[in-house]
Amino acid sequence: MNIYDVSKKAGVSIATVSRVLNGNNNVSEKTRQRVLSVMDELGYTPNVFARGLGLNTMKTIGIMCTDSSDVYLANAVYYLEQELRANDYDSILCCTGTRNSTKKKYMELLISKRVDGIILVGSKFLDTHMEENAYIIDAAKSLPIMLVNCHLDGENIYSAQCDDETAVFSVTDSLIKSGRNKIVYLYTSTSQSGLKKLSGYEKALDLNHIPARTEFMQLCHKDILRAKEYLNSLHARGISFDAVVTSDDSLAVGALKFAYENHIRVPDELNIVGYNDSILARCTEPELTSIDSKVEALCSTTVNTLMGVFAEKHVPSKTLIQAELIVRGTTRL
Amino acid sequence: MNIYDVSKKAGVSIATVSRVLNGNNNVSEKTRQRVLSVMDELGYTPNVFARGLGLNTMKTIGIMCTDSSDVYLANAVYYLEQELRANDYDSILCCTGTRNSTKKKYMELLISKRVDGIILVGSKFLDTHMEENAYIIDAAKSLPIMLVNCHLDGENIYSAQCDDETAVFSVTDSLIKSGRNKIVYLYTSTSQSGLKKLSGYEKALDLNHIPARTEFMQLCHKDILRAKEYLNSLHARGISFDAVVTSDDSLAVGALKFAYENHIRVPDELNIVGYNDSILARCTEPELTSIDSKVEALCSTTVNTLMGVFAEKHVPSKTLIQAELIVRGTTRL
């Protein structure tokens, strides 16, 4: 017995039943009486514990992301919302920023709102200090925690990740096999996923017996200008390089700007590889070769797994999805 | 008397109180007994009408947007969430797509969830056929409706808009005054805001006694390639032009790609103006002159107005915010 049955039987919209329940005045007295008598007849009483007015669940999932205006995270939020909606779930969005104390506060807040599950988007939710992740393990005691593109071992924690390490390994290895051997790696963060990408770069060098050079690995955040200026500084110091691999398209845009300023021909003299295959990759001239990190597949897997958890099915606690290299004009591979 | 008082008095987190209320097993029997006895002592009973467990409101706002992965809308959703959060409100996000029937369904759904207000983001929620907007006027009978960058007259409907018409008028007029007189206008949609921008373009031509040419006004949606190909088709037909004004940065990117392909120098031979001053404007070479449509200000105004409505203050039903031209390398103004 729920609000939908009342609405159907009374021949009014759910919104009208809701208005009657809320004592809202925008309902005619006649309609109000009809709705109330149907409630009586059906023996309907709003659930005192209030899980969504007579339903046994809020049918609401909390989505936490550090910054929903980030191009990658905005896409993830979009796909998650669509998938959840297709399963009749609402999503409450929380943009947490990157401070641990704020993330914990929002997690607590969402739990107090009694959402049915929480999805953490992006690997910026995991700290390299494991004790800082205790709040996630703790939250998983109350409800399922879904991680999009990061992984944490723990009961009731599920993850879907892109195989970022293999993706960066493969493209770096391909660049080496095609004759490049002075490859700069620019990265956006030292998150779990960020470190895997970096490790993929280092492994490819190692496998090909090319020593890793510290000046060839640089943290630039998602900052186009910082990427450009770092490459300018290498160039000014007479340090030459023939390829730039990045962990985000924004840094590849910066690399292209460096090449433009210094009249370096791309891809003849310099190969550039972006990551995430975002709209930025199609804005530049030439367009960016970029790694498609399969955000849509990660999000649909996450929601499918969550629905499996709710249905008490057996679901994998960890899913790994392969990235795909999209070759455009900034490489000759 | 609410859940916070219970949590404080019992010396446990809100999440724990919530778990006890939900009959969740992840609470020790000792804690459960303490929470229940505090509830008894304080005479706490969960509100049967369930507005957020003993609070008188859900403190939740519905945000509807057609596509949260769109760069402009993603920024708006981000700023709205941040502003709402700062006012202790949650937001439930709905990505509706562009079909009217789906928009109506989501509006109904949000009302049935008893949100405290609904924010519609972008002018794609208004139809040129006024009868198609009746669902918005109808919804406003139950709760405040906030429109971000569109306007609809009606009780309990509030709007914050960028003065898009003046923005396009001014930049077109400046281009004419700087010597351009064959100005193409590429636009993304015929939404309310879209039509205002187009009208700004036409007014600037009219004021300067330049006849409007139908082949100089073209709908391209947010499609980089379509913009490029349309300009290619004009060029192939020998129709020359010396400036391209657009309603979105993506179309300005397309115009720049057209210039690159045809070896036309920007800005010497062709001036290009984007709109929204998004990250795309900083990806191209040269970077795009673009109109900053002040999405952050629109969003903070929207949330401030909504909070004013809740506080029963006098608030303006319509706010107009001026855009700002950001001059970069694609124009000589």
Distance of alpha carbon A332 from alpha carbon B11, whole angstroms: 64
List of chain A residues whose C-beta atoms are within 8 Å of the C-beta of residue B13: 108
Helices B14-22 and A100-112, packing angle to 10 deg? 30
**What pLDDT does B24 receive?**
66
- Report the pLDDT averaged over residues B46-64: 60
Chain B contact for A279, CB < 8 A? yes
Three-state DSSP at A242 gives coil
- Nearest Cα neighbor of A281 from A246, A245, A320, A328 is A328
Q: What kind and span of H or E run contains A246?
A: strand A243-246
Establish whether domains B3-55 and B164-293 are of one fold.
no
- Report the pLDDT averaged over residues B85-89: 93
Q: Do B22 and A51 touch (CB under 8 A)?
A: yes
Closest Cα of chain B to A60: distance in Å?
Answer: 9
Q: What kind and span of H or E run contains B145?
A: strand B145-148
List of chain A residues whose C-beta atoms are within 8 Å of the C-beta of residue B15: 108, 111-112, 142
Bridge partners, residue B159, by sequence: B147, B318
* pLDDT confidence tier of residue B251, bands split at 50, 70 and 90: very high
- Nearest Cα neighbor of A117 from A306, A294, A270 is A306
Cβ atoms of residues B161 and B194 within 8 Å? no
CA distances from residue A274 to A172, A279, A324, B41, B224 in whole angstroms, order as listed: 12, 11, 12, 61, 19
pLDDT in tens, A198-242: 999 999 999 999 999 999 999 999 999 999 999 999 999 999 999
Cβ atoms of residues A217 and A201 within 8 Å? yes
Tell me which of A69, A95, A114 to substitute to probe the interface with B (most B C-beta atoms closer than 10 Å).
A69
pLDDT in tens, B261-290: 999 999 999 999 999 999 999 999 999 999
- Report the pLDDT averaged over residues B308-312: 93
Give the closest of B21, B79, B95 to A49, CB-based: B21
- Report the pLDDT averaged over residues A265-278: 98
Structure tokens belonging to residue A179:
């004759």
Neighbouring C-beta atoms of residue B237, cutoff 10 Å = 9
Q: In angstroms, how far is the first alpha carbon of chain B from the final one?
A: 63
List of chain A residues whose C-beta atoms are within 8 Å of the C-beta of residue B91: 92-93
Q: Do B71 and A26 touch (CB under 8 A)?
A: no
Q: What kind and span of H or E run contains B16?
A: helix B14-22
Cβ atoms of residues B73 and B102 within 8 Å? no
Which pTM value belongs to this model?
0.83
Q: Do A279 and B141 touch (CB under 8 A)?
A: no
B329 has pLDDT over 60? yes
Q: Do B224 and A283 touch (CB under 8 A)?
A: yes
- Report the pLDDT averaged over residues A66-73: 92
> What is the number of CB-based contacts under 8 A between chain A and chain B?
157
Mean pLDDT of chain B: 91
CATH superfamily of B60-162+295-321: Response regulator (3.40.50.2300)
Give the closest of A21, A95, A142 to B15, CB-based: A142
Give the closest of A74, A257, A285 to B68, CB-based: A74
pLDDT in tens, B117-167: 999 999 899 988 889 999 999 999 999 999 999 999 999 999 999 999 999
Domain positions in chain A are 3-55, 60-162+295-321, 164-293
- Domain B3-55 CATH (choose: 3.40.50.720, 2.40.110.10, 3.40.50.10800, 1.10.260.40): 1.10.260.40
Q: Do B46 and A49 touch (CB under 8 A)?
A: yes
Compute chain A's Rg from CA coordinates.
Answer: 25
Closest Cα of chain A to B38: distance in Å?
Answer: 17
- Nearest Cα neighbor of B306 from B145, B162, B163 is B145
Cβ atoms of residues A103 and A96 within 8 Å? yes
Asked whether the bond before B286 is cis by omega within 30 degrees of 0, the reply is yes
Chain B contact for A46, CB < 8 A? yes
Q: Do B85 and A74 touch (CB under 8 A)?
A: no
- Report the pLDDT averaged over residues A59-68: 93
- Report the pLDDT averaged over residues A246-269: 98
Residue A294 backbone class (left: φ over 0; alpha: ψ -120 to 50; beta: rest)? left
DSSP string, A170-210: HHHHHHHHTT---EEEEES--SHHHHHHHHHHHHHHHHTT-
DSSP string, A102-144: HHHHHHHHHHHTT-SEEEEESGGG--SSGGGGHHHHHHTTTS-
pLDDT in tens, B7-19: 888 888 877 877 7
pLDDT in tens, A122-140: 989 998 889 999 999 999 9
Chain A contact for B99, CB < 8 A? no
Q: Do A68 and B91 touch (CB under 8 A)?
A: no
CATH superfamily of B164-293: Response regulator (3.40.50.2300)
B211 has pLDDT over 70? yes
- Nearest Cα neighbor of A279 from A248, A324, A257 is A248
**What pLDDT does B17 receive?**
79
Cβ atoms of residues A293 and A164 within 8 Å? yes
Q: What is the DSSP letter of B18?
A: H
Q: Do A68 and B77 touch (CB under 8 A)?
A: yes
Give the closest of B74, B75, B285 to A257, CB-based: B285
Neighbouring C-beta atoms of residue B129, cutoff 10 Å = 9
